[in-house]
Structures are given as C-alpha cells and as structure tokens.
Amino acid sequence: MTQLVRLQPDARYATKPLLCQHDIRAFGALFLNYSAVIDLVPKEEYATPMSDTPTPKKTPRTMSDEHNRFHAEKRRARRDAKAGKQSHNDHRQKQRFKHARENTVDLLFYGLHTVRHAIINPARQKHRLFATANALKRLELDDKHLVDLPVEEKSPRELDKMVGSEAVHQGVVLHVSPIEAAPLSELGDERLVLVLDQVTDPHNVGAIMRSAVALEAGAVITTSRYSPVESGVLAKSASGALDLVRHIEVRNLAEALETLHEAGFTTIGFDSEGDTAFEKTPAQQKIALVMGAEGKGLRQKTRETCNLLKRLDMPGEIKSLNVSNAAMLALYIARGKLV
C-alpha cells in the first residue's frame, strides 16, 4: 500500500526575500517529488475527471408569433422614419390588418386577472383552461364558473411553450373565442366615452381600456381598420378590462363623431396645438374624449369634426405623454366636468 508523505516547507525560504539559483533548484526537486506522490493516488480521490463533452448551450427563449410580429412592425416603422418615408404602403398595411382579423378565431388569454374576468364574463365563449395547481387556487373562482369548463393541469414550462416564454402567464392560460365589437347604436345613455383615432399598439389600447374601467367610462370606441383586434397581448395589457368595458367599433370615425354630436356629446380632441388647456373647458352634459395615435396624432378630418381641440399642459420638463397616460389623465379631468 502506498504511503503518502506530507511535505513540510523549508524554513529557509520563508526568510529570504529573493530566490537564488540554489533555491530554484531546490524548489524544482521539491515539486518533482510532490508530483510523484500525487501520481500514486487514484485520480477519482483528488480530482473530478475532465470531460471532452462541450458544455451545452443555454436554450434560447421562445417568442410567440404575436410578439415577433409586433416588434417586427416597430423595427420597420423606425427604418421608414429614419429614411424619411411613410411607414409602409397602404396595401401592405391593409393586408396585415386583414390577416390579423382573420386569425382571431381561437385566442389564448393569460394572466390571473385577465383569465378570471374572461371566465366570469357570460358573453365570452370559453373552451379550455390550462393551469398549474397553485394558480388554479389563486383564481378564486366558484365551482359554478368552472362546472362547464374543461380544466387541464400544466407545468409552467408547458405553459411557456403555449404562449411564449416572454409572456407573464402567472400559471394560467385560457383558450377563448373573441367577442364581436358592438355597433355605435348600442351606446345607450352613457355620458363619458373614449374615442381612439387609429391607435394601433395593443399595449396602449389595453392600458386605455384598463383606465376606462377604473374611471367609469361608458365605452371605448375604435375604428374597424388600423386598430388592434382581441389578442393575448391586448387582454394582458387590459388586465381584465377587455371583458369589463364596452367596446364599440365604427367604420367611419368622422361619421361616428357626428352621430355622437346628435346624441348630445361634446367631442373634445387632444392635440399639442389645442387652443386652451383641457382644465379650462366648461362643464358639459356628455363628453367624448378623442385621442390620436402616437406620433401622427389626430387625422385632419378628425380634427375638423371635433367640437373642441384641447391640450394637456404638463408642468415638468417633459411636455408630452404616452397616449395611454394622456387618456387616463383626460378621463380623470373629464369626470369633474360632467354636470
């Protein structure tokens, strides 16, 4: 049996600040002896064997098709703006929106608030709920809401594959069908509504719907073209408001504004070149707030059709707001203008 000898350092070398040739030769011999002893010990007792297998690369995140399309659209818009061109030609843009609207028969909603309100909404057609065991408890739903809804338990990784790893699903995914937007004739006796002039970003429209519910707006009116259709991104951004707010869709926005005028609404468009601040607007019986898309703002025909053009004055260094933030602020001020 091989005996291991513990090597003791020579006291000489601890006191000398520099090494001479004799010291170097001594250290060399010491190292060789030490190596010889190490070679007698089986490798598995003092080291982990090296492997020739390369370290596997980290699996890249999977992005949903909806996420990829949205960001591809953003990249094209930036390139066109930099080149001084109009963002795409009308034909291609119409084809993209047509394709989006033809592919919304089956939707996947995700997120606790989004899924819960979709399940509770009797007008929403639900097909199947996919959830982790813990997330199913966190939905806090009565048995009556789940009695006719098939529930399938999934792992978080399986849900990632369904909606994309970038989606914050919180352990729940709901397979649903879209709800058809209502016509303007179903507005009823509402006194405060939001009108969106070709706001296409689903994140902004979802956030606007959330603010509309929080501040008790009667409806959100969008155009049938150049506005986002129901999708997982829109529903998640709305955080349940998609199934709470009345969504009205119109083909011609200028004609819709004229119809609102006949119903007693004062239509107020928001523009940085508005004549006065919105806070100084007199009280009204009914108010329709008209918000334009980021960048291009209100279209010329929309500006000409609105009763008033107002601006939102900001006291800080930044004078402009994201359209969803501007809509929330306008709604808050408008509630104090109703009589």
Spell out the per-residue pLDDT of the chain, length 339, in tens.
555 555 555 555 555 455 555 555 555 555 555 544 445 445 454 445 555 556 666 555 666 666 676 677 777 777 776 666 555 544 454 444 444 444 556 799 999 999 999 999 999 999 999 999 999 999 988 888 888 899 999 999 999 999 988 899 999 999 999 999 999 999 999 999 999 999 999 999 999 999 999 999 999 999 998 899 999 999 999 999 999 999 999 999 999 999 999 999 999 999 988 889 999 999 999 999 999 988 889 999 999 999 999 999 999 998 889 999 999 999 999 999 998
Which residues, other chains included, contact 244 with Cβ-Cβ below 8 Å and sequence gap of 6+? Answer: 117, 121, 213
Architecture of domain 102-179: 2-Layer Sandwich (3.30)
Which residues, other chains included, contact 22 with Cβ-Cβ below 8 Å and sequence gap of 6+? Answer: none
Residue-level pLDDT at 76: 74
Distance of CA 87 to the CA centre of its chain: 23
Residue-level pLDDT at 295: 81
Q: Where are the domains of the chain?
A: 102-179, 184-335
φ, ψ for residue 300 (rounded to 5)? Answer: -60, -45
Asked if the domains 102-179 and 184-335 are classified in one and the same CATH topology, the answer is no
The size of the chain, in residues, is: 339
Residue-level pLDDT at 279: 93
User: What CA–CA distance (Å, rounded) separates 3 from 198?
Assistant: 85
Residue-level pLDDT at 140: 87
Please tell us whether the domain made up of 184-335 is placed in CATH 3.40.30.10: no
User: What CA–CA distance (Å, rounded) separates 250 from 3?
Assistant: 91
User: What CA–CA distance (Å, rounded) separates 233 from 231?
Assistant: 5
Q: For the chain, give me the number of helices (H) and strands (E)? A: 13, 11
